Structure formats: C-alpha cells, structure tokens
C-alpha cells in the first residue's frame, strides 16, 4: 500500500470501511431503540419512561467514556481499538439478549456496551475522515456522517422483521454476532491511522497540509475554548432532540392508530433525509460560511416541532421526521469540521470525544424527559413544545455568533 499508484485515494477505502462500522453501531442502538420500547414494556411491566431508558443507559456510559476513547484513538492504532470495541460491544448486546434481570441489562449497557459503542461509533468515523482528508474534508465528514443515518435505513428494517419473526431476544442476539464479525474484519483488513502510514503525504489530497504534532491536549485546554463550545452545543441540541423523536415516533404513531410496521417508516424517512443532507452540508461546508448551516439546522428543527404540535396526523409525522433529519444532517458534518479546524486532526479524537460526551448528555435528558411527559400526561405535546423552545433558543444563539469561514 505504501507509495500506491492506485488512481483511487486510499482514504476513500478507509472512509467507506469506517462508515459501515458506524452504520452497524448506530443502527443497533440509536435507530433501533424504538423497536424495543413496547416489547420491554410488556415483558417487564415498565412505564413508558423506563422502557425508553435502554438507550439512555448506553448514553450515560458514552458520556463518561467518550473522552477516554477519543484519547485512545489519538494514541493507539485505530484498527485495534475498533476491533476490541466490536468484541466488547457485541458481547454486551448478547448479554442483554440472554439476561433475565433488568439490572444485568443495565450494567451490560452502561459499561461494556458504552465503551464498545464509543470505539466503533461516529467518533471513530469522524476522526478518520479528519485525518485522511484535507482539501475535501467537509465532503469527507459529510460522507462519514451519512453512516449515522444509513443505520436507520439498513439495520432497522432487518431487525424489525427479525423481532417480529423470532422475538426481540433472538433478533438482538443474531444482530450482535453478525455485527461483531463484520466490524472486526473491516477494521483489520482496511482501517489505517493516517496518510503517512500509507506513504501518501504527497498525495494531491494532502498537499499544502500543515504538519501536525502528535499531541493530546488536557481536558481544560479543550473545554476552555470557544472553538469547542460553539459547534458542540449546536450539535448536541439537534442530536438530543432528534434522539428523543426517534425513540418516540413508533409509539406515538401506534397511539394515533398507525401499525408498528408503517410507523417504522418514520425512522427510515428521518434517516434518508439526514443522509442526503449530510452530503450536501459537507460539500457546502468547504465553500460557504459554516455558521449559516448551523442556523439552517436549528430552523429546520423548529419547523419539525411545529408540525408535531399542530398537526397530529400520519402525513405530518412523516414530514416532521424528514425535517428533523435535515436538521441533524446540517449540524453533524459542520460541527465536526469546526472541531477539526479548531484543534487539528492530531488532537481531533480527544476534542471530539468531549463533544460526543455533550451530545450524549443532551440525548439522555431529552429522551428521559419525553418519556416522563408521556407518563405524566399520556401525551407528547408538552415535550414537543419544550423542544420547540429549545430549538428557538439555539436559533437565536446561532444568529448572534460571529461569522466564521469554512474550515
């Protein structure tokens, strides 16, 4: 591979492999969470808020471990970190699928599940995109972010059919084994840390790139910088609201008289719109002021929440899911690009690890809140109103930001 004369830049292979890894990770967690709400509620006689808590428990663990995993990605070969993460994550899902105790499930998700997910999720994909691409970093980060949405398109329909045919436990167990095997194979065969390892420093993609020292900044150096907080808060608000919506759309659709299979289409529509938007936003991030894309993200989320509040019909839910997907699609590659520009690719993992800790914290709060609102009022309208207020506040905040050039 060193000094390769292949007309295809090897970074594209790395990006494709890491995107598939993240696709499986996100599809098995964020997008599939709604499929387990009703089965868990029926089997363990849980409240809706507690049935929603599986993904929240995972996010608590991610919030605590993402900064550590980000530092590991900066210090050790990524293919080994990802392979170990796949083993740990697959084992955690298998334990959840076979456990009879809720406390065992909680511990499996909180510790090994969270560590494994952080190692194979979006943190790794965006880290590799930032390292391997310079001139087309925005496009690469947009493509990297697509894998988050593709998990909803690929994994959710397959897992939904498996759950319907074999039950949620068997479906989850099969998913765990297949996912771990695929991820380990891709990591060992394709993933490499950076262009330097492949002798591609002089590739046209990297010409003009400044040399970056292998540094690992202290947490205080990251958290004290505006370059961290501006993109991180924008991404966390959009992502947290979207996670609450994803978990809610299927149960809410069923409440409105929609079949679970048709309601699952909301998640696929969200994922499709988010995926297309991420590519477009990634391309635009290399060409226009990035602040404008963050403003657009908050505006689309406001429109999504307005529809949920005013028009509780199947068509409105479908359009709202699409608008929420567009919002997340704008926020993800732009936030990652701003982090990369502010900290450099050599320290990107450590900085982005703290960003994903903040994203997890918002997702925990938003998802728990919407479940609590349902249990208290037997409806979701107060939660949708609160999310509209949050989106409106973020919209005003982004308007006050100083203009910033694309990375």
156 in any annotated domain: yes
Question: CB neighbours (10 Å) of residue 404?
Answer: 17
Q: How confident is the model over 85-94, as a mean pLDDT?
A: 94
Flag the least confident range among 61-75, 195-209, 297-311. 195-209
Q: How confident is the model over 119-136, as a mean pLDDT?
A: 86
Is this model's pTM higher than 0.85 or not?
Answer: no
Q: Taking a C-beta distance cutoff of 8 angstroms, is the pair 327, 305 a contact?
A: no
Rounded to 5 degrees, φ, ψ at 181 are -65, -45
Higher pLDDT, 80 or 158: 80
| Predicted confidence (pLDDT) at residue 405 exceeds the cutoff of 60 | no
Flag the least confident range among 104-108, 194-198, 237-241, 280-284. 194-198
Residue-wise burial string across 96-130, b where 16 or more C-beta atoms lie within 10 A, e elsewhere: bbeeeeeeebbbbbbbbbbbbbbbbbbbbbbbbbb
Q: How high is the pLDDT of residue 119? A: 93
Helix segments in 99-224, DSSP class H: 102-108, 114-120, 122-132, 137-166, 168-189, 219-223
Q: Taking a C-beta distance cutoff of 8 angstroms, is the pair 116, 66 a contact?
A: no
> Helix or strand or coil: residue 32?
coil
The tally of CA atoms less than 13 A away on the side-chain side of residue 320 is: 27
Tokens 């973020």, residue located: 394
DSSP code, position 248 = H
Q: How confident is the model over 252-262, as a mean pLDDT?
A: 80
Q: How high is the pLDDT of residue 216? A: 61
Nearest to 250 by CA among 261, 236, 241: 261
249 in any annotated domain: yes
Structure tokens, 50: 């507690």
Report pLDDT digits (tens) over 323-340: 999 999 889 888 888 788
143 in any annotated domain: yes
Report pLDDT digits (tens) over 24-64: 998 888 778 778 878 888 888 777 767 767 777 888 898 89
Structure tokens, 53: 């808590």
Q: 4: pLDDT confidence band, cut at 50, 70 and 90? A: low
Q: How high is the pLDDT of residue 326? A: 93
232 in any annotated domain: yes
Q: How high is the pLDDT of residue 406? A: 40
Q: How confident is the model over 141-163, as a mean pLDDT?
A: 78
166 in any annotated domain: yes
Nearest to 137 by CA among 43, 89, 206: 206
| Cα-based torsion angle of the residue sequence 210, 214, 220, 225 in order, rounded to the nearest 10 degrees | 10
258 to 78, 115, 311, 313, 325: CA distances (angstroms): 43, 36, 15, 10, 21
Which residue segment(s) compose the domain that 170 sits in? 10-193+216-399
Higher pLDDT, 32 or 5: 32
| Cα-based torsion angle of the residue sequence 320, 25, 261, 160 in order, rounded to the nearest 10 degrees | -170
Most confident of 7-11, 131-135, 186-190, 209-213: 186-190
1 in any annotated domain: no
Q: How high is the pLDDT of residue 156? A: 81
Per the prediction, the chain carries an average pLDDT of 83
Q: How high is the pLDDT of residue 144? A: 78
What CATH number is associated with residue 71? 1.20.1250.20
Q: How large a percentage of the chain has pLDDT more than 90?
A: 20
Q: What sign results for the dihedral spanned by CA atoms 121, 123, 125, 126?
A: positive
| Predicted confidence (pLDDT) at residue 2 exceeds the cutoff of 60 | no
| Predicted confidence (pLDDT) at residue 407 exceeds the cutoff of 60 | no
205 in any annotated domain: no
Kind and range of the H or E run holding 192: none
Tokens 């084994």, residue located: 177
**Number of domains into which the chain is organized:** 1
Residue 70 CB contacts under 8 Å (≥ 6 apart), including other chains: 118, 123, 127, 349, 350, 351, 352, 353, 354, 356
49 in any annotated domain: yes
Integer Cα distance of 73 and 129 in angstroms = 13
Q: Taking a C-beta distance cutoff of 8 angstroms, is the pair 250, 264 a contact?
A: yes
Integer Cα distance of 93 and 174 in angstroms = 10
Higher pLDDT, 35 or 296: 296
């Amino acid at each position: 591979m060193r000094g390769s004369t292949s007309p295809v830049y090897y970074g594209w292979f790395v990006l494709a492999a890491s995107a598939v890894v993240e696709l499986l990770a996100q599809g098995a967690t964020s997008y599939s969470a709604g499929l387990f709400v009703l089965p868990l509620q029926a089997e363990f006689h849980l409240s809706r808020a507690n049935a929603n808590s599986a993904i929240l428990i995972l996010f608590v663990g991610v919030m605590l471990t993402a900064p550590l995993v980000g530092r590991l990605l900066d210090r050790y070969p990524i293919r080994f970190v990802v392979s170990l993460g796949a083993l740990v994550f697959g084992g955690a899902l298998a334990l959840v699928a076979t456990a009879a105790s809720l406390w065992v499930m909680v511990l499996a998700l909180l510790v090994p599940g969270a560590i494994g997910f952080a190692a194979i999720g979006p943190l790794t994909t965006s880290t590799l995109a930032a390292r391997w691409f310079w001139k087309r970093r925005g496009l690469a980060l947009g493509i990297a972010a697509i894998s988050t949405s593709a998990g909803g398109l690929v994994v959710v329909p397959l897992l939904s059919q498996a759950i319907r045919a074999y039950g949620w436990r068997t479906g989850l167990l099969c998913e765990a084994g297949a996912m771990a095997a695929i991820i380990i194979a891709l990591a060992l065969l394709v993933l490499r840390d950076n262009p330097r390892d492949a002798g591609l420093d002089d590739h046209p993609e990297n010409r003009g790139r400044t040399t970056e020292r292998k540094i690992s900044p202290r947490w205080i150096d990251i958290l004290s910088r505006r370059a961290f907080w501006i993109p991180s808060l924008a991404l966390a608000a959009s992502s947290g609201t979207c996670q609450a919506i994803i978990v809610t759309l299927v149960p809410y659709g069923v409440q409105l008289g929609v079949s679970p299979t048709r309601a699952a289409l909301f998640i696929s529509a969200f994922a499709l719109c988010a995926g297309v938007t991420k590519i477009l936003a990634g391309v635009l991030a290399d060409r226009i002021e990035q602040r404008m894309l963050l403003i657009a993200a908050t505006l689309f989320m406001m429109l999504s929440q307005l529809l949920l509040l005013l028009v509780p019909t199947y068509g409105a839910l479908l359009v709202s899911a699409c608008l929420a997907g567009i919002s997340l699609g704008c926020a993800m590659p732009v936030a990652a690009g701003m982090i990369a520009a502010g900290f450099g690719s050599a320290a990107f993992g450590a900085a982005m690890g703290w960003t994903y800790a903040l994203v997890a914290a918002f997702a925990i709060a938003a998802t728990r809140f919407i479940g609590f609102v349902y249990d208290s009022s037997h409806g979701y309208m107060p939660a949708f109103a609160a999310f509209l207020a949050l989106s409106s506040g973020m919209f005003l905040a982004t308007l006050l930001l100083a203009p910033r050039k694309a990375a």
